Structure 1
Amino acid sequence: MFILVIGLFVFLGVHSFRIVSEPGRAAVLRRLGEMRFKGSYSVLALIGLVLVVYGYGLARASEGSLYQPAPVLSHLALVLVPSAFILVVATYTPTGHIKRTVRHPMVLGVALWSLGHLLANGGTAEVVMFGAFFVWAVVDYLNAFSRPQPAFGLPQAKGDIVAIAGGLIASGIFLLGLHRWLIGVSPLA
């Protein structure tokens, strides 16, 4: 569990710079320059991600269970997680109504993804990992409203169509085998 917690601290810590101190982030960005800042940020995020993945695998092998989710909650996860995929894809598509309305689709997508997993899993490792991501996403999403709104162009249906289609295709790929291959558990079981 220790490696998982350190990984979460590094990964989410790097992603919390704006939450903790926007002026501090701006000062470091000025001092390092954009390329060195992004490079350092990326290396730290990658280290954190590797520790999260490795630590999660170790923690799952020796974990206990904090609660037994009701089956209906697992079914709810099958709605929340595909919705999260749609939001994450919307982050990278041309501006549609989804992106413009949500403002920060990636962060809201992480919140729905982690909430869905919390509802479907009661193991200690899952609660620690998905709980940390959920709390971070909620705090970051709320904090984002204190910053200037991202500059989006006029919404186009193309952005929404690509986000929905891409999110549903990615969800289908995960549901039909990729999740089982990566994690060892089928969400449909």
Structure 2
Amino acid sequence: MPYLVLGLVLFLCVHSVRIVADGWRTQTLARMGELPWKGLYSLVSALGLALIVWGYGLARQQPVVLWVPPVGMRHAASLLTLIAFILLAAAYVPRNALKARLHHPMVLGVKVWALAHLLSNGNLADVLLFGSFLLWAVFDFRAARQRDRAQGTVVAPGTAAGTGTTLLVGAVAWAGFAFWAHALLIGVSPLGR
């Protein structure tokens, strides 16, 4: 479990700089330059992510069960992860109504993804992993919306084509992950197949 915790600290701390020290980030970025900053940011993020994956895999070998979620939570998690995938797609598909309305759909997608996994998993490693991401996403969304208000950020209005594409891309990505990739990458078939 120490590798999981260390990975979470590295990954989430580097992703929290704008939440807790936006001024310091701006000064450091100006001093270092954009490419070195992005390189260091990416390096620490990748190291943190690698430790999370490794640590979570190790923790799953000797699970510490805190509770056993009801079977119905697996179905709720499937629906919530569909929503999370659509929100993730909304971050990248141009001119969709979700991004126009929510401004930061990827962070909301992380919230929904983390909540879904907390509802359907009751091991200590799951609580640490998904609880940490949920907590981070709550604070990150709040900070991002405050920055938007302070800077007067306006997001382009959505179109029917952009919104439809977002829904389609999100649903197809979710189906591919739920029916195939989750079992391949994580070792668990979320739909019980």
Q: Where on the TM-score scale, by shorter chain, does this alignment land: which range?
A: over 0.9
User: What CA distance in whole angstroms lies between the structure 2 residues aligned with 1:18 and 1:69?
Assistant: 35
- Unmatched tracts of structure 2, length 5 or more: none
CA distance in 2, matches of 1:7, 1:146: 28
Distance of aligned partners of 1:11 and 1:147 in 2 relative to their CA distance in 1, 3 Å threshold: same
Q: Please list every run of at least 4 consecutive aligned residues from structure 1 whose deviation after the TM superposition is greater than 3 angstroms.
A: none
Taking structure 1 as the reference length, what is the TM-score of the superposition?
Answer: 0.96
2:184 equivalent to 1:181: yes
The aligned counterpart of 2:63 is 63
TM superposition score normalised by structure 2: 0.94
The aligned counterpart of 1:81 is: 81
Letter in 1 for 2:106: M
Q: Distance in 2 between matches of 1:96 and 1:14?
A: 29
The residue type paired with residue 96 of structure 1 is N
RMSD of aligned alpha carbons: 1.1
Contact kept? 1:74, 1:120, Cα under 8 Å? yes
1:156 aligns to 2:159 (yes or no): yes
Give 1:1-189 correspondences, 5 Å limit.
1-148=1-148, 150-189=153-192
Number of equivalences: 189
After superposition, what is the alpha-carbon deviation per residue over 1:37-64, rounded to whole angstroms, capped at 9, x for unaligned?
A: 1111111111111111011001111121
Please state how far the C-alpha of 1:183 moved relative to its aligned partner. Answer: 0.7
Equivalent residue letter for 1:15? H
The answer to whether the 8 Å contact 1:81/1:116 transfers is yes
Counterpart Cα distance in 2 of 1:153 and 1:33: 29
1:160 aligned partner, one-letter code: T
Q: Matches of 1:86 and 1:166 in 2, distance apart?
A: 7
Distance across 2 between alignment mates of 1:75 and 1:26: 43
Task: State the Cα distance separating 1:151 from its structure 2 match.
Answer: 3.8
Deviation at 1:181, TM superposition (A): 0.7
Opposite residue 5 of structure 2, the aligned amino acid is V
